[in-house]
A and B are shown apart, each in its own frame.
Chain A
Amino acid sequence: MTASVIAGRPNRRRIRKGRVALHAFLITMSVVWLWPLAWALLNALRPLSDTIKNGSWSWPTTLNLNNFINGFQQANLGYYYLNTLIVVVPAVLIVLLVASLVAFALTRVRSRVNLFLLLMFTAGNLLPPQVIIVPLYYIFNWIPLPSAVADNGRLYDQYIGIILIHVVFQMGFCIFVLSNYMRTLPKELNEAALVDGASLFRTFRSVILPLCAPALAALGTLEFTFIYNDFFWALLLMKTGSKRPITSALNNLQGQFFTDQNVLAAVALMVAVPTIIVYIALQRHFIRGLTLGSTKG
């Protein structure tokens, strides 16, 4: 008996060691990732006076939701959620529509400029936006808009300007992803559509686009998060504080000197909620979209 146990051990041990190491690694990583979030939540649940008296590294004496309630009112969150939605929803829809059109043309229509165009979009994606902010600031100030569209008669300080700049800057990435995805779709689909007498646009709308749904869902999730989290463009191209997106509401909570860090933590957690909701809602497509094509060949 002892002999058999000893004989069986080395094998089992090796497996166990590997699993233990793996789980130790996974647990460590998740703790490292969740620690700041948990800490923010803990501080958000305790009043500032408690933190001041006992220090941040103490166990809270009182826990309540006051910071969330006060923070929501103080930061005027409902209003700023709406500001952000005004920018994010059109921007995501437009960028997905236009990018899928471009990707379709680049991959399903033969042309000599295809590769060049794809290179341009991909290269443009690598351009850091910070490089062009000075000329962009002046350009936005110069471009006139009819007063029906913009109350100040310029592209600067308008939602439409922010939507446009997001569309432009996200375009490269979306075209890159979508054209790679469309390339995995069999050519025969196009040929079949052609034989059935479908026009090019009809082929796009009725054949290719529905097949791209997982990729579009994955991109939609990513783009929503990207644009939602953006602070940069709104900061640069908008001067009216009350038009700025939700990320600026967080800044509004930071005083010239005094900042209630616990309210700030509570509001930061609330601001993060919509991206999590979108992720959960589109999660299935998101993961499928990321792995699709990986099994090809």
Chain B
Amino acid sequence: MAIQDTSRPEAPSTTGPRSVSRRDILKGMAVVAGAAALPTILVACSSTPTTAPGGGGGGGAVTGTVTVGSNHSDPGELKGMQAINAAFMAANPGSKVVMNTVDHGTFQNQISAYLQGTPEDDFTWFSGYRMRFFASKGLATPIDDVWAKVKSNYTAGFATSVTGDDGKVYGIPVDYYPWCVFYRKSLFAAKGYTIPKTWDDLKALCTKMQSDGLIPIAFGDKDGWPAMGTFDILNLRLNGYQFHVDLMTGKQKWTDPKVTTVFQKWAEIMPFHDTTYAGLTWQKAADTLVQQKSGMYFLGLFMTSEFQATENPADLADVDFFPWPTLGTQYDSEAALDAPIDIWMVTSKSATLQADMDTAKAYMDFWSKGSTQLLMFQNQPGLIPAASDTDTSTYSDLQKKAASIVGAAQKITQFLDRDSRPDFAGADGMQGFLQKFLANPTQDTTGLQKQIQDFWDALPPATV
């Protein structure tokens, strides 16, 4: 009762109009999805046998138009998109790519309304639960015919990440970035630090760094999501991949003692984190590593862009990273880590989709090639192409290492907010709960875990 009282008033104030609207739209979608599901199934049934012999694009050149919705609004990524579209049109004389670029944050906030309204034929999105969610609503077109031709270019982990609840394939993986512990080589060499392999190594190193006047672990959680990375990796090392997946999808309870152990382990290293984390964005936290005020930083590979922005090549060359230390459990051998995968998908409600289908699928096929992904990657070094046939000779040392760490991982997860429902992972959900934990890490987390589970239980049904 008391728990409900504390959590309820918070929901409206932190939710704001945007979340309310999104939820309302989701509710409205239940009706729309019912109507949309039928035509989608019919299309899938009729088009699969007819397009299979024809090739559906990829094999032969296509001449139609395809409209694409892109969230690649960063200058570098936009340049990459333009190069890829030009390459597609050159490879398919007579074809045309019409691109609509919307900035990343807006694109993500509006995805529900976008997919139900008048979307483009193809669109950029994320793999994992976020893909399966919209696929199960009938808002995406399955592309098993394309996948059958290109799947040899992907490892098994990628195949799983683009398979929907119904067993059909809905996306083409294009890039990913692993979460690792970053450090400055020069600092480690100067102070004689060695890379920690185990949990005890890590804590010993942290203690040493602290005595040297450094912040052992840089941390910035102003935006709420960076803390999820730490939760994920501790959960993966302590409880394994399957528990992570089941917990994110509601098959396991947040009140489970296994979750308690994650918080307890986290509390052990929390004193080594930057104490000003609550007001720092990830970029400001990364700056402490640049300025050699902190020793280590656990974040995604995109972190290196802050070192690139110093305009001093020596800074970028000085960055290195290692996978999160082992915790002495049976799951250490999984070497699992968060490596979110970005994908391309085909919408279902685009007004032009039926006319453009061959070109839309050929565009997906085109994206599955390493040569295409490399065009994007050249302009966005924080991401790694997903296709196996990518020419790795142009990779930097950082990218080669990242690829090898992900290759060594037996299990790859997407990230807490990509593996779970958006309304659960958001600011009024897990982001807020984790911030509550961080404010007082040594607390008895039983009450907090119950709050999280109650929040999950109170969410409207996700699947209709």
Contact = CB atoms under 8 A, between A and B. Distances in A.
Interface of A: 47-49, 51-56, 74, 128, 130, 133-134, 137-138, 141, 152, 154, 156-157, 235-236, 239-242, 244, 248, 251-252, 254-261
A49 B284 CA distance: 12
A53 B118 CA distance: 45
B382 interface: yes
Nearest to A262: B309
Interface in B102-123: 102-106, 110, 113-114, 117-119
Contacts of B118: 141, 152, 154, 156-157, 239
Nearest to B300: A257
A258 B306 contact: yes
Interface residues of B, number: 41
A128 B17 CA distance: 10
B198 interface: no
B51 interface: no
Contacts of B103: 241, 248, 251-252, 254
B291 interface: yes
A242 B74 contact: no
Contact of A258 (B291, B302, B311): B302
Contact of B100 (A240, A257, A258): A240
Scoring A133, A235, A239, A258 by chain B CB atoms within 10 A of each residue's CB, the highest score goes to A258
A55 B289 CA distance: 12
A248 B24 contact: no
A137 B310 CA distance: 44
A239 B283 contact: no
B155 interface: no
Contacts of A74: 75
Nearest to A74: B75
B305 interface: yes
A239 B302 CA distance: 28
B47 to A, nearest CB: 25
Given A239-B69, A251-B105, A256-B77, 11 more contacts: A52-B306, A74-B75, A239-B119, A241-B103, A251-B103, A252-B101, A256-B74, A257-B282, A257-B300, A257-B302, A261-B283
Most buried by A among B113, B291, B302: B113
Contact of B114 (A48, A133, A239): A239
B338 to A, nearest CB: 14
A53 B117 CA distance: 45
Interface in B302-317: 302, 305-306, 309-312
Contacts of A152: 118, 351
Given A156-B118, A258-B382, A49 B106 contact: no
B440 interface: no
Contact of B73 (A47, A56, A141, A241): A241
A239 to B, nearest CB: 6
A54 B119 CA distance: 44
B310 A52 contact: yes
Interface in B53-82: 69, 71, 73-75, 77
